[in-house]
Structure 1
Amino acid sequence: MWFKQLLTYNITQDLQLNAESLEEALKSKPARPCASQELTTYGFTAPLGKGPDAPLVHASQGFFLISTLKEERILPGSVVRDALKDKIEEISTQQQRKVYKKERDQLKDEIVQTLLPRAFIRRSTTHAAIAPSLGLILVATSSAKKAEDLLSTLREAIGSLPVRPVTVMVAPSATLTEWVKAQEAPGDFQVLADCTLRDTHEEGGSVKCKDQDLTSEEIQLHLTAGKLVTQLALAWSDKLSFVLDEKLAISRIRFEDLLQEQALKDGGDDAMAQLDATFTLMMLTFADFLPALFAALGGLQVPEGI
């Protein structure tokens, strides 16, 4: 249940959400298996537990955990191309004629429909936490496409979802660059030993540094030459470490042992209680961490409508 990566979105208007109304709304967009002729399905699934009675919303201390499940049939393009090639060769040989584009497209559609029921099925889950008190939705992915799929489906379910990606007053790459130059970050943040540097010129390259002394002359020369820090490994308040990039995507989140041990203690031996304790402790940590991070980056740009 610990989120390993994070994209953050501002809620720009009061949604007036509660667990009961959200549960009812999500039931209108349930996850379901792909039918034999469907390429993909997408909908909400129970974030904790399984079974038909498992709730689609897990609520704890004002935070809501939701999850989506995508099911898709995997039909490699090479398989379709080979089958189409064989069919065209068969027609050309037996009927002594060419197969033109319109017929070729029709044959391709027929092949896809024939192969779909035998295609492998891949399932992927995306979790998100709604934090009304913070005015944020946290999606546990590094993929903007996956986040938008979840947010779009949530918007369809509840009727309105005024959100936008979190932005800050100062370009993150400029702030991260200054932190590496000074080898110091404000507040409870600490610069670690991994970063990515990128040349600002149109055809400029990039340099990835791992387990490096960022105070070294080599790194400082790159910065003096005009490279910007586009990714930086950081730690916060002895509670977690993470990598932040120039688009405010947070990845490689690792909660420190003390927090993990506290979640184990709070949850006890029951599996569901353990998941609940982990989610609750994670969200309480994020409630302190994210405002501190945004403040260190120059402060949030306040969305229109607030």
Structure 2
Amino acid sequence: MWFKNILLYRFTQAIPFSLDELIAALQQKPARECASQETHTLGWTTPFGRHSVNLVQVAAGFWLVAMQKEERILPGHVVKDALDAKIADIEERDARKVYKKERDTLKDEIVMQLLPRAFTRTQTTFALISATDGWIAVDTSTWKRAEDLLSLLRECTGTLPVRPMNVKAPPATSMTQWVKDNQAPASLQIGDNCELTDTSEDGGQVRCKHQDLGSDEIQLHLSAGKQVTQLDLRWGDKLNFMLTDRMVIKRLRFDALVIDEANDQAGDDMASELDASLTIMGGTLQQFIPALCNALGGEDQPAGI
């Protein structure tokens, strides 16, 4: 239930659908298994799994949705081995060379032959929509997975006016200054892990784990021109996370006190426990997101928002 990563998106205008309209839209594209010749399928599933029947879980003004992706696993080396054997057979039988166009055709044919026998795997990606605040938080650190979810949501609703949430100060610039000063803004505390990147064209990276980031060694790297591109941070007594220079929140961990608060509010069944967790998680993020943006110079919002 608790998000592990976050990619943030801001609605660029008023949310163009109501809760009822969103529920109806998601019902158009339920999750399903791959057909024999499909490489993958995308659809919506219940965020609480077997503990609910709703495609949108609602709590305290937050809407939680879950995209399920089923894909067939066809290892590249399996396709390559089959293709190499096919090409060798043709070249030996016909005494001729197989060139790229024919090779690509043969590869497609082999993939279609192997797909029905391939194993499948399922991934679920969650997104939290705050209708009040006008943002979407997707539980992933991968832009591709987030875009898959947003594209499917846009396909179902007909429109989804969002863009990645931007801040006025580049995160790398802010994080570098925090480590130089050995102090982050009041709501944040610096951890002991970071990634330093040389800004030159052929620059390298230095990953620092469990180190005092105020040490002379780290400061020497910074004085040589390296920038902090990933940094472990703590927000108050509620969250630990790693922030990247692309405004990706990774390795998100909610403090035990936050989880205990959710447990205290939960009832005796799993559904009520998940509902309480959603309420507390949403409320925590509702406070955390503007605090993080303020620490990075404030959110760079679209005009009219």
The alignment's TM-score, normalised by the length of structure 1, stands at 0.94
- Quick check: 14-23 or 242-251, which moved more? 14-23
SS of equivalent residue, structure 1 residue 252: strand
Whole-angstrom CA distance in 1 between matches of 2:282 and 2:222? 36
Whole-angstrom CA distance in 1 between matches of 2:177 and 2:102? 61
Q: 1:209 to 1:112 in 2, by over 3 A?
A: same
Whole-angstrom CA distance in 1 between matches of 2:58 and 2:115? 38
**Partner residue of 1:291?**
290
C-alpha distance after superposition, 1:33-71 (max 9, x if no partner): 1001111111111111239x8111001111100010111
**Partner residue of 2:181?**
182
C-alpha distance after superposition, 1:229-256 (max 9, x if no partner): 1111111111111111111100111111
Whole-angstrom CA distance in 2 between matches of 1:82 and 1:282? 48
SS of equivalent residue, structure 2 residue 50: coil
**Partner residue of 2:96?**
98
Paired residue total: 304
SS of equivalent residue, structure 1 residue 50: helix
Deviation at 1:304, TM superposition (A): 3.6
* Contact map agreement 1:45 1:56 (CA 8 A) in 2: yes
Whole-angstrom CA distance in 2 between matches of 1:176 and 1:88? 54
Amino acid at match of 1:184: Q
Q: What runs of 5+ residues in structure 2 fail to find an aligned partner?
A: none
- Quick check: 67-76 or 9-18, which moved more? 9-18
* Contact map agreement 2:167 2:300 (CA 8 A) in 1: yes
**Partner residue of 2:205?**
206
Q: What runs of 5+ residues in structure 1 fail to find an aligned partner?
A: none
Q: 1:88 to 1:210 in 2, by over 3 A?
A: closer
Amino acid at match of 2:214: T
**Partner residue of 1:38?**
38
* Contact map agreement 2:7 2:139 (CA 8 A) in 1: yes
Deviation at 1:116, TM superposition (A): 1.0
Whole-angstrom CA distance in 2 between matches of 1:280 and 1:152? 26
Amino acid at match of 2:223: T
**Partner residue of 2:26?**
26
Q: 1:89 to 1:204 in 2, by over 3 A?
A: closer
Amino acid at match of 1:285: T
C-alpha distance after superposition, 1:82-137 (max 9, x if no partner): 222323333444x4443634544443333222211110101111100011212110
* Contact map agreement 2:16 2:160 (CA 8 A) in 1: no
Deviation at 1:21, TM superposition (A): 1.4
**Partner residue of 2:254?**
255
**Partner residue of 1:3?**
3
Whole-angstrom CA distance in 2 between matches of 1:206 and 1:290? 28
Whole-angstrom CA distance in 2 between matches of 1:76 and 1:12? 40
Whole-angstrom CA distance in 2 between matches of 1:194 and 1:301? 27
SS of equivalent residue, structure 1 residue 107: helix
Amino acid at match of 2:39: L
Amino acid at match of 1:39: T
Whole-angstrom CA distance in 1 between matches of 2:86 and 2:225? 57
Q: Matched residues, percent identical?
A: 52
Amino acid at match of 1:253: L
1:128-167 equivalences under 5 Å are 128-167=127-166
Whole-angstrom CA distance in 1 between matches of 2:159 and 2:80? 42
Q: 1:108 to 1:216 in 2, by over 3 A?
A: closer
Amino acid at match of 1:4: K
* Contact map agreement 1:71 1:122 (CA 8 A) in 2: yes
Whole-angstrom CA distance in 2 between matches of 1:200 and 1:108? 41
